Chains A and B, each alone.
Chain A
């Protein structure tokens, strides 16, 4: 009995020492080595791919952000600022409920099911809003023209991209609101449309922040 207790203790000690040795290798040396290489070779990317416009950091090119008007009195959700291209809905995005000394972005999806009535309502409302907001005199958006990414929440809630089709149906509205020729805005979208990588990996997309920065430049030039 006594012997088996001693053996168990000895064995557990070996387990603990193995864990500590391997923690040194995989939890200290490995991450520091990778961080060293990353900071040396890819400094900007390793630190969040921050993007500047007019000398000011305006976000990360990888993280989507809202383009809304300031919240009006009595309003719970702000209205989109229609001067700018809009990203995807992010109904699963939250703010932190723990460690509230910070206000961190809490990534996430809605997790609503394909047959959820709540989700059906969210999609219908989003579609109606996209049709209404993007129809300007001389250009009417039909519900069938609205692509799926415009009315569904992304997985992370931080999707930086929209589909080229969603960008296209926003072109007329953006042109009108900024007093720019439609052709010029259209070209802006075309120039910033990224195709599939190597022709087949992923889906074509437009980075909304980069597009809006270019749009702002265009407006400033006028």
Chain B
């Protein structure tokens, strides 16, 4: 069997596994967020918070909960890093400098996990496990909560109430993320991922001498890193490090973990709005784009254009032997079409077009299938834009899921899709125009520009992967990427929740013969088209200067 066929079979196996998980997990999540009952452990947590989980919140209260929790998260994580030098259980590692500590705190709280530090030499057990890994869970739970609030906006009428943020946050963590992550972590350890709390290991070598590496709670963090579409590696090499991703099976398993919740969210959405077919239409849109990108990526990586790759006879620079080109292409597309940003191979050394595909995946807004929660709400915003465009074509007021898309709704949706492009393009332009930031580039010319464009695309879209040649540990990049991550996460959430509130207040419009049937393949086609055209028009000039110039050279 050739590597191309093996790659295609891995793709098919992955689709099969995801299809098996889709209905049970989606139904389960719909139940989790609709149930009236509280688990005992949840009641203890609510008591600790001092919140009543049965209080309904309007969108402003819900948003205030999100922001209060996230501000606490940034401050706590910042302090933990700044105090690392004095904390026990930190391997004697020194404290993190202020600019980098801010960048890292913003990064993990926003579900981005952009890393301007080297995990294995900078972060001790306490920061990794009680700081970074915790945000892996809770930032994911926040994303799901906001998506659920938007779904409730569609499902409910004549009320402004969107549910209770604390209940959604705690349930997402306790009922969804922790159980799946625990099982996944044990699977990873069984295949060779590290899981201990020992100090620095010093082991002998075959030729004499010794090597040192740190132990730690790697598997438990790796599991939630993928499952919560976070992406921050325990080690610098992220999921290419054999202690994070030891075998070809774990590679496929980790890709499965990345995709499973974002895809199943469409099922939960369908169940909650009372039409699983609407969920299938959204799912079909996500899968169409994802499969298309995987096909393009495999084609360009197996073709290995580019002088260095031609000289080598294959695109294996920055890729591991056990994963090969197929497994790496699959991972790269899945991590950038979600908000994950974990890498099992280094995107900077991909073919010019391959690097461009990873960037374009993020520029789509990470909606195919996107981050946990953020993928669904991002896609629903695009669906609103698509029905609006369709409404303009036939000259009638657009509706989606029985709700009128009036001027307030479309303004909020339009604001949502403007936030990240504005952040990406303004910060990239500033970084290239100013005298010193370009010194951080490793490569020159088009690829150097791509490094900067990639950095801000990744930060603003809360992805976290990098063209890692860029030296991002400077005051400029730590500060600007930190801001891009915070604004790129929370400003869109404001628009999503405002939209949810406005939808929930409406009374439903009965469907008529003139209503656009949003559960049909025609709508899926329209939605895919709208996404590609809007993103293409926004980013084409920037892409032309970077990856396209490199890929076509």
Contact = CB atoms under 8 A, between A and B. Distances in A.
Interface stretch (A25-33, A131-139, A171-179, A180-188): A25-33
Interface in B169-201: 169-170, 173-174, 177-178, 181-182, 185-186, 189-198, 200-201
Interface in A169-222: 196-203, 205, 209, 212-213
B68 A148 contact: no
Contact of A99 (B51, B93, B178, B249): B93
B553 to A, nearest CB: 7
Given A110-B318, A160-B242, A197-B247, A102 B45 contact: no
A115 B443 CA distance: 9
Nearest to A87: B321
Contact of B92 (A46, A101, A113): A101
A122 to B, nearest CB: 8
Interface string B113-143: 0000010111000000111011011100000
A114 B355 CA distance: 10
Given A30-B220, A59-B203, A98 B121 contact: yes
B64 A203 contact: no
A140 interface: no
A129 interface: no
A34 B469 contact: no
Interface string A134-155: 0000000000101111011111
B248 A108 contact: no
Interface in A9-24: 11-23
Q: Which of B181, B251, B318, B352 has the most CB of A within 10 A?
A: B318
A22 B170 contact: yes
Interface size class of A (residues with CB under 8 A): 35 or more
Contacts of B351: 114
A35 B550 CA distance: 46
Contacts of A41: 186, 189-190
B94 A98 contact: yes
Interface in A67-126: 67-68, 81, 84, 88, 92, 96-99, 101-116, 119-120, 122-124
Contacts of B194: 46-48
A105 B129 contact: no
A127 B121 CA distance: 33
B120 A113 contact: no
Contacts of A155: 237, 240, 318-320, 328, 343-346
Q: Which of A38, A66, A92 has the most CB of B within 10 A?
A: A38
Contacts of B65: 11, 14-15
B48 A31 contact: no
Q: Which of A149, A156, A198, A213 has the most CB of B within 10 A?
A: A156
Contacts of B213: 48, 60, 63, 104-105
B541 interface: no
Contacts of A112: 308, 317, 348-349, 442-443, 469
B430 interface: no
B49 A203 contact: no
Contacts of A23: 76, 130, 134
B346 A26 contact: no
Contacts of A196: 1, 6, 248
B85 to A, nearest CB: 10
Contact of B348 (A13, A111, A120): A111
B247 A202 contact: yes
Interface in A49-73: 49-50, 53, 56-60, 62-63, 65-68
B434 interface: no
A96 to B, nearest CB: 4
B318 A111 contact: yes
Contacts of A153: 317-318
B182 A18 contact: no
Contact of A59 (B10, B186, B205, B252): B205
Interface in B317-347: 317-324, 326-328, 343-346
Contacts of A62: 192, 242-243, 246
B28 interface: no
Contact of A57 (B173, B203, B207, B242): B203
B324 A203 contact: yes
Contact of A67 (B70, B92, B198, B207): B207
Contact of B134 (A27, A99, A205): A27
B92 A18 contact: no
A146 B320 CA distance: 17
Nearest to A113: B447
B211 A63 contact: yes
A205 B246 CA distance: 13
Given A60-B213, A148-B313, A156-B241, 17 more contacts: A11-B68, A14-B68, A15-B73, A18-B69, A27-B134, A31-B129, A47-B194, A57-B204, A62-B243, A88-B321, A104-B213, A104-B214, A106-B120, A115-B307, A148-B309, A157-B237, A202-B247
Interface of A: 11-23, 25-28, 30-31, 33-35, 37-39, 41-42, 45-50, 53, 56-60, 62-63, 65-68, 81, 84, 88, 92, 96-99, 101-116, 119-120, 122-124, 127, 144, 146-149, 151-163, 196-203, 205, 209, 212-213
11 contacts: A17-B48, A22-B134, A22-B138, A30-B220, A34-B220, A46-B194, A104-B120, A114-B309, A201-B251, A203-B3, A203-B327
Interface of B: 1, 3, 5-6, 9-10, 13, 41, 44-45, 48-51, 64-65, 68-73, 76, 91-94, 118, 120-122, 129-131, 133-134, 136-138, 166, 169-170, 173-174, 177-178, 181-182, 185-186, 189-198, 200-201, 203-207, 211-215, 217, 219-221, 224, 235-237, 240-243, 246-249, 251-252, 304-309, 311-324, 326-328, 343-346, 348-352, 355, 442-443, 447, 467-469, 550, 553
Closest 7 CB pairs of A and B: A202-B248, A114-B306, A148-B314, A155-B240, A203-B324, A15-B68, A107-B237
